[in-house]
Amino acid sequence: MLENSPVISASPDIMSGTPVFAGTRVPIQTLLDYLKAGESINDFLDGFPTVTQEQVITLLEEAGKRLVGMVA
């Protein structure tokens, strides 16, 4: 998807290769867990201030495009 982009990074040296928000050690899965639990993006950003709102929005937009593209 966006691996090793301005939004997502995956490196064996950071979190054993777990996909994280670029420039942070915050796993992408953590955002998904927050959203699944009914938490807001703002709650996530408050808990992980190293992640920017722009990164979250870009990730969600790209994921949405990919999902729609799979169906279309």
Q: Is residue 67 part of a domain?
A: yes
Residue type, 39: E
Number of domains into which the chain is organized: 1
Q: Is residue 2 part of a domain?
A: no
The CATH number of whichever domain residue 20 belongs to comes to: 1.10.10.10
Range of the domain at 20: 8-71
Q: pTM of the prediction?
A: 0.86
Q: Is residue 58 part of a domain?
A: yes
- Helix/strand number for the chain, H first, E second: 3, 2
d(CA 47, CA 26): 10
- Please report, in angstroms and rounded to a whole number, the separation of the first and last CA atoms in the chain: 17
Question: Computed from CA positions of residues 5, 8, 11, 14, in that sequence, does the dihedral angle turn out positive or negative?
Answer: positive
| pLDDT means over runs of 10, the chain (72 residues) | 74 94 96 98 97 96 90 78
